[in-house]
Structures are given as C-alpha cells and as structure tokens.
Chains A and B, each alone.
Chain A
Amino acid sequence: MQIKLFINGREYSGDIAPDMLLIDFLRANGYLSVKRGCETSNCGLCTVILENKPVLSCSTLALRANGLHVTTIEGIQEEAADFGGFLADEGAEQCGFCSPRFIMSVISMTRELKNPTEDEIKKYLEGNLCRCTGYMGQLRAIKKYLDIKSKKECSHEVC
C-alpha cells in the first residue's frame, strides 16, 4: 500500500506491506537509532515522536503515520547532544543501547511538563527500561539539565 510521511522534516514515500510497523519503516530508511528491545511494548526503546507525542514505533502500524510527521533522535541532534552531555557528566550511560530513546523521552517531557517535580519526572519516564543502571545517574542528569535549562529561559524572559 502507498505511504507518504515525513521523517525529521524530510518526505518519504513508498509501497509497503499493510502490516509493516513504523519501527521497520524507519530502520529501512536508515534511522537506526530506533531499536527493538522487548517485543512486548514495555521497554520504550523504539520511542519516536509522532506529531508531538512520544509513541512506541514497534507497536504502531507504519500506515497509521501516513501523512504525519515523525521525529527520531537524528532529527534533533542539537537538543540531544545538549542533554547527552549531562548524561555523560553524571556517568549515567553504560552500554548506551537505550540512550537514544531515553533522550527522546526526556525531550518530550521537557516539551510537555513545566518545572516537573522528581515524582513527575519519574512518573513520566516510567516505561523507559534500562538494564545497566539504577536510574540514579539519569535522574541527576535530568535535574541538572532542567535546572540549567530553566535558568537559561529565565534570563531570556527576565524572571
């Protein structure tokens, strides 16, 4: 079936099988940051942003993204590198396999929540499983990142 969608602002079209999942369409087009972890819709490793909402691309039919905009980490390199630096500083990365989707989820969170509390951060990021760490490094990195981000925004807005 014919599909046309936008990945990181670039138009893609093709003739795909009706049961092709969005993750497979993305990977077939070279977006290899999007990975399969669990096959049970639980790990969050395949997270992409579909029309401003983080979704599991392993559980979304590619055809359901027809005409829509998909963002992967390849499309938000600057923001990703910014937060990635905080993760590295806190030693929060070990194997790094799940980092792309973790960064995608944190960026989605900052777009959705203003000044989240620690509980709100934890609640928002549940469903993002990391097998290496105990999440403490990530949490420290998020808090520092949000702190500096809010100070930067403050200096622009004269708080």
Chain B
Amino acid sequence: MFTIDKYILAENLEQAYELNQNRRNVIIGGMLWLKMGRKRIGTAIDLSALNLNTITEDEQSFKIGCMCTLRDIELNEGIKNYFGTLLNKAIENIVGVQMRNIATIGGSIYSRFGFSDILTVLLSLDTYVELYKGGIIPLEKYADMPLDNDILVNIIIKKDGRKASYSSHRLSATDFPVLTCAVSNKGRQWFVVHGARPMKAKLTKIEMSENPETEEIIAMVAKLSDDTPFGTNIRGRMEYRRILAEVLAKRNIEEILNGGSHAN
C-alpha cells in the first residue's frame, strides 16, 4: 500500500512543477496505479483545481487537458463526431465506468504503461503532448523518453484527415489486453502501432499503396510482426502475440479500406 505524507492542491502549474522536482513528490492523476504500489510519497500534488479537465476543439485539433478522465473523452461529442468509434474502441474495455470516471488521460500517457490501449490508439494519430517546461513534442518522441519531472499539461490531436482503426484482444472482457493494435493511413503512408506486447506501444511507419491488394497486406503485416519485438507474460506467449499482431493489423487495414471507424 502506498503512503502520502502531505497533500497539496496545486494553485498553479509553477507551484506544481517546483514541488515535482523533489523525487519523493508525485503528481497524482487518477491514482489508480499509484494506489496499488508501495511508494512512500512525500507530497502528493493534485492538479484538480487548475481547470485541466476540459476538452477544446478548433478547426485544426483537439486539446485534451491532462486531468480529463477517460470517461470524459468517451462521452465528448466533438471527439465522437470527428473520430467516430475509434477512441471509444480503445477506452470502452478499460475495466468499467466507475474506473474510467477516475482514470485520467494525463496519468495514462505520462506513465506510458506497457498495457495501454489509449497510448496505442493515440500513437496512430497525429498526437502531441504539451509539457509545462518541455513545450509541445510529438507523442511518438515522448513515448520513448524516460519518465521525468516535467508536467504533461495537454494532449493535442491534430485533425490531419487520416483514417484509422483500432482493435485489441483480451482473454476476458475488461481484463488487460493480450495485444492492442491501431492502424492509420494517409495517402501512401501507413502507421501501425502494436501495444501490450507486453511492452510499451511501438509505432512503425510504412509506405504502401493507398488501396493495397490482399497479398500486399499479408506480406506487410507479416514483415511488421517479424520486425516488432514481442514478449511473454501471464496473458500470452511471444509466439501467440506475433500471430495476433498479424491478425489485428490485417483486420484494421481492411476496416480502413472499407471506410474505417474514423473515415474522413
């Protein structure tokens, strides 16, 4: 069980940042994962009062505050209108409504969990993170950075018109995924993400024709599966994940070719 010596409801980001430079202090997002650990937290820094639980949309992008819950994203009309069922497919299997009313997008993305559905789907889109000190950087780059003491303030998803599709495989509903997969496409550029490998989600960019023939798709997903590292854990062996990776990627590509869950 974790412990907290002191709790502070931050009054501004500078205060939160300063506090977060002490390695015993932690910014608490949804706190779901933290709660299950044994960390002895000096000061728990809460960003709840900084109005970071809003989703704003303009012509170019969506800006999602780090304290938005997964349920906020699931229910947001603008996101549903633009992305169709894409994001919901990646969110709806995460435990249940009560949990998704607590889990924050900032906590999920900052932690870059190896089982993350949401990291997988966001990597397939033109997504950026806005850090308090580090500025705006692509999620792809952020995903590979070590956990640091900066603050993830917003997540920005650009509306670049790409089509995308998401799927995951679970042994039972609401369990952690055995494998997650998101694919998106813009012109000849294809973006394939495999997550829950059981390592952190990995994005691979590939050139392929806009309307590939079945043989081309099969060859592509087989090569991807060979080139992507997979591992073994209680939910599945490396060999099983490699097979699943091909199947899920192929299904996602086919869904995109048939319109996709997010077709513009």
Interface residues of A (CB under 8 A from B): 1, 17-19, 21, 39-42, 44, 47, 53-56, 58-61, 63-64, 105, 108, 123-128
Q: Are A47 and B7 in contact (CB under 8 A)?
A: no
Sort A-B residue pairs by CB-CB distance and give the 4 closest, nearest first.
A127-B96, A19-B4, A18-B7, A18-B4
Are the C-beta atoms of B46 and A59 separated by less than 8 Å?
A: no
B98: chain A residues at CB < 8 Å are 44, 47, 54-56, 105, 127
How many B residues have CB within 8 A of the partner chain? 28
Given A47-B98, A56-B99, A108-B97, 18 further pairs, Cβ under 8 A: A18-B7, A18-B44, A19-B2, A19-B41, A44-B98, A44-B99, A54-B97, A55-B98, A56-B32, A59-B32, A60-B31, A60-B102, A61-B44, A63-B7, A63-B9, A125-B97, A126-B173, A127-B97
Q: Least Cβ distance of A156 to chain B in Å?
A: 27
Question: Interface readout for B1-32 with A: 1 if CB under 8 Å, 0 if not?
Answer: 01111110100000000000000000010111
What are 14 A-B pairs with beta-carbon distances under 8 A?
A18-B4, A18-B5, A18-B7, A18-B44, A42-B174, A44-B98, A55-B102, A56-B99, A59-B30, A59-B99, A61-B4, A61-B44, A63-B46, A64-B46
Q: With A41-B32, A41-B36, A61-B28 in contact, do A127 and B174 touch (Cβ < 8 Å)?
A: yes
Residue of A nearest to B28 (CB): A61
Give the complex CA separation of A44 and B7 in angstroms: 26
Q: A42-B174, A61-B28, A126-B173 are in contact. Are A1 and B96 (CB under 8 A)?
A: no
User: Once the chains bind, are B102 and A44 in contact (CB under 8 Å)?
Assistant: no
Interface of B with A (CB < 8 Å)? 2-7, 9, 28, 30-32, 35-36, 41, 44, 46, 48, 71, 92, 95-99, 101-102, 173-174
- Complex CA–CA separation, A38 to B174 (angstroms): 14
Residues of B within 8 A of A108 (CB): 97
Shortest CB-to-CB span from A138 to chain B, Å, is 14
List A contacts of B3 (CB < 8 A): 19
Measured between beta carbons, the chain A residues less than 8 angstroms from B9 are 63
Report the minimum CB–CB distance from A148 to chain B (whole Å).
24
Alpha-carbon distance A61/B2, docked complex (angstroms):
12
Q: How far is the CA of A28 from the CA of B31 in the complex (A)?
A: 22
Q: Provide the bound-state CA to CA distance between A54 and B92, in Å.
A: 16
Q: Closest CB-CB distance, A16 to chain B, in whole Å?
A: 10
| Inter-chain contacts of A1 with B (CB < 8 A) | 7
Closest beta carbon of chain B to A131's beta carbon, Å:
14
